[in-house]
Structure formats: structure tokens, C-alpha cells
Amino acid sequence: MSAHRIEDEAACARLCVDFAHHLDARRYEQVLALFTEDATLDRMGAVSQGRAEIARFLASRPTQITTRHVCTNISVSVEDATEGEATGACYVLFFQGSGGSADAAAQLSGPPSVVEYHDTFSRTAEGWKIQTRRIRMAIRG
């Protein structure tokens, strides 16, 4: 495996982790920057097409809810390095709580769930970006 391929796969895997960190911290501009302009985000059938629609979804997230997304088993495969295309998948352990603050932990709202992210990535002038993210429930809490 070439060094370039390893770097490309690591950059795409980093997008998965960055998505979780920025989403949980409500850094929505940074979340949006992870996607291509015409990206598709499919949240178990609720589809947002393009950054503007993804931004509307992000703005609608309840502010009283605290979330943590723990990404694991990240697998990325560069399909065509010359075309700048890759696919990936990961498992995400999802926690949700309420009543938290900067100084106090949120109260867990129920058992965690496991979702799967199925992604396609595109190399852009700014580096690798998420082209499509399909989220599906694997184990409901």
C-alpha cells in the first residue's frame, strides 16, 4: 500500500471523528466544512441535500439535549486515487442526555444506540470531504 493511499484513507477517517466532535460541540460551521457543497446527508430516510439543507438540519437540533457520538471500527477504502473517490463505514455509539452545563454532566436520557455511517468521500481543492453520508440504525437503545 502506498504512502499516499494511507494518507488519503487517514484523511477520510479523520472526517468521521471530526464530524462527531464538531456535532457534539455544536460547532456547525466546522461540521458543514467537512461536506462538499452538493453533499447528501441521509439520516435514516430524512435526506438533506447540499450544505444549505444540512445547515437547516443542524440549526434545528434541540439546544437542551447533549449528545456524544463515539466512532469506532472506521474502515475507508480509496476506490480511485486518480479520481479522488473513496468509500467508508463506521459504527457509532450514540449517547443522549439533558440538563448538562459547562460545569456539570448531563443526565443520560436512556440506553445508548448504535448507528452505522456509510460514506462516500471526494477529494476537493480543500482536501477530502464527505460527499454522501447515510446513517442507519443498527441497534436501538
The full set of domain ranges for the chain reads 3-139
Calpha distance 133→19 (Å, rounded): 11
Quick one: pLDDT at residue 35? 98
How distant, in Å, are the alpha carbons of 5, 7, 17, 74, 78 from that of 2?
Answer: 5, 9, 23, 19, 11
pTM of the model: 0.93
Per-residue pLDDT of the chain (141 residues; tens, 9 = 90+): 678 889 999 999 999 999 999 999 999 999 999 999 999 999 999 999 999 999 999 999 999 999 999 999 999 999 776 789 999 999 999 999 998 777 888 999 999 999 999 999 999 999 999 999 999 999 998
Find out whether 21 and 122 touch, Cβ atoms under 8 Å.
no
Task: State in words which class domain 3-139 has.
Answer: alpha beta
Residues 6+ apart with CB under 8 A from 24: 66, 67, 68, 69
Find out whether 10 and 16 touch, Cβ atoms under 8 Å.
no
Quick one: pLDDT at residue 46? 97
Quick one: pLDDT at residue 86? 96
Helix (H/G/I), strand (E/B), else coil: 22: helix
Quick one: pLDDT at residue 112? 95
Quick one: pLDDT at residue 101? 76
The set of cell numbers assigned to 135 is 446513517
